[in-house]
Structure 1
Amino acid sequence: MMHFQGVPNEIMCRAFPTMLKGLARIWYSRLTPNSISTFKELGAQFVSHFIGGHRYKKSTACLMSIRQREDDLLKSYISRFNKEALSIDEANNKILVAAFINGLQKGKFLFSLYKNDPKTMSDVLYRATKYMNVEDALLA
């Protein structure tokens, strides 16, 4: 905003640290005095130092790699799957359902999903809850 308002470099350089918190503030405080002469240079150094901390968007393709392990209970598979699904910004319901089913172990629950094709992830989770309740009742 200051750049668009024509604020001089010197003032932008002095205002910059007031917006910093945590590690960014520590990084700034460790800069050698008078080592940076322009705001553009300050910005470039900041970006080059912190570029590694950038959170990259995950694609829905990474959901296809999540698999229910042999020793995994359905509950733990659902938990892992949901955690990954939440990290994807634009997850389509059809893709979520397909990826979830793709990762399931062969068994009665997978068969029941194929038998009555669920349309939404809510359907899948509702049916999974019913299935887990039946499993728990049989184990008890």
Structure 2
Amino acid sequence: MDWFISLPNGHVTSFPQLTKLFRAQYIANRAPPSVSHDLFDVRQYQGESLKEFLHRFGAQVVRWNLKDERMMVHAFRKGIVSGPFSESLIRNQPKTFAEIRRRAVAHIAAEE
């Protein structure tokens, strides 16, 4: 609002011009678009359950519309906290994220 009020009277003569000025003023506040390698920044929090992490990681895969299965598998394995499930992923390496999801659901069910 302060920015809008600070514009000189008569400076804006059309809505398209106002739109252009507004975008120029606030473009820096826009979050940069996500790229596929950002998936490697998704890490399991200390105390976060496998179920919660799987859901959060999967939501990012859907949000970014990722298709590279090898990258998703690798990013998931890098992001998960060390434990029985992560060790099972090392022993028997999954080929797809769907396989990780299936194995994680079975692991979660066994724990519960």
Query: TM-score normalised by the shorter chain: which range applies?
Result: 0.7 to 0.9
Determine if the alignment matches structure 1 residue 74 to structure 2 residue 50: yes
What runs of 5+ residues in structure 1 fail to find an aligned partner? 1-26
Aligned to 2:100: 124
- Going from structure 1 to structure 2, the CA distance change for 1:56 and 1:69 (only over 3 Å counts) comes to closer
Whether contact under 8 Å (1:57, 1:88) holds in the other structure is no
Determine if the alignment matches structure 1 residue 57 to structure 2 residue 37: no
Larger RCO, structure (CA 8 Å, separation 6 or more): 2
CA RMSD of aligned residues (A): 3.1
Counterpart of 2:72 in 1: which secondary structure? helix
Alignment of 1:24-63 (within 5 A): 34-37=10-13, 41-52=17-28, 54-63=30-39
Aligned to 1:101: 77
What runs of 5+ residues in structure 2 fail to find an aligned partner? none
Give 2:108's aligned amino acid: M
TM-score of the aligned structures, taking structure 2 as reference length:
0.74
Determine if the alignment matches structure 1 residue 88 to structure 2 residue 45: no
How many residue pairs are counted as aligned between the two chains?
A: 111
Larger Rg: 1
Whether contact under 8 Å (1:66, 1:103) holds in the other structure is yes
Give 2:20's aligned amino acid: A
Return the alpha-carbon distance in structure 1 between the equivalents of residues 13 and 45 of structure 2.
Answer: 56
Whether contact under 8 Å (1:60, 1:91) holds in the other structure is no
Return the alpha-carbon distance in structure 1 between the equivalents of residues 18 and 83 of structure 2.
Answer: 58
Percent identical pairs in the alignment equals: 26
Whether contact under 8 Å (1:68, 1:104) holds in the other structure is yes
Return the alpha-carbon distance in structure 2 between the equivalents of residues 100 and 84 of structure 1.
Answer: 11
TM-score of the aligned structures, taking structure 1 as reference length:
0.61
